[in-house]
């Protein structure tokens, strides 16, 4: 406890960095501001500190943007894969449906297609001849 009291008292007694503004007629070759070594050290180190802090902030923001981009890219890839899989499933389902419909159509089709076709064509010719004869008879 005594050591912490001594430490606090030495901090309280410290005056901190000092500077002085010199006028034109005061003993200096030019008008300006005079800093003691502690104030000069603070000024010089603050430049490095702020430069380092700026670099760290830039690095942090770039890393944050890179992580966000990677997440969005991964989400886009997942969405693409899901849509592609859904499309493939739909195509498979449609292929199965086409197959089933073709089987049903084959079952319902007559076995002697050419006979039915020939019979239909013959019936069509007979109907056309009858209609032509009927039209000719009425004139």
Backbone phi, then psi, for 22, in 5-degree steps? Answer: -100, 135
Contact between 31 and 24 (Cβ < 8 Å)? yes
- pLDDT for 58 equals 97
Instruction: Quote helix, strand, coil % in the chain, to nearest 5.
Output: 80, 5, 15
Q: For 55-109, how does the pLDDT look when each residue is reduced to its tens digit (9 = 90+)?
A: 999 999 999 999 999 999 999 999 999 999 999 999 999 999 999 999 888 877 6
pTM of the model: 0.44
> Which tens digits make up the pLDDT trace of 99-126?
999 988 887 766 677 777 888 899 999 9
Q: Are the beta carbons of 17 and 36 closer than 8 angstroms?
A: yes
Taking Cα atoms as reference points, which of 9, 72, 19, 64 lies closest to residue 41?
Answer: 19
């Amino acid at each position: 406890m005594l050591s912490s009291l001594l430490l606090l008292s030495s901090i309280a007694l410290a005056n901190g960095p000092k500077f002085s503004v010199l006028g034109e007629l005061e003993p200096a070759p030019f008008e300006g501001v005079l800093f003691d070594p502690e104030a000069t050290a603070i000024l010089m180190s603050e430049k490095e500190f702020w430069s380092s802090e700026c670099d760290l902030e830039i690095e942090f923001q770039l890393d944050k943007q890179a992580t966000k981009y990677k997440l969005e890219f991964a989400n886009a890839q997942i969405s693409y894969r899901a849509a592609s899989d859904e499309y493939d499933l739909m195509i498979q389902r449609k292929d199965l449906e086409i197959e089933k419909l073709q089987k049903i159509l084959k079952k319902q089709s007559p076995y002697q297609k050419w006979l039915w076709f020939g019979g239909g064509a013959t019936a069509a010719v007979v109907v056309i001849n009858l209609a032509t004869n009927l039209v000719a008879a009425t004139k």
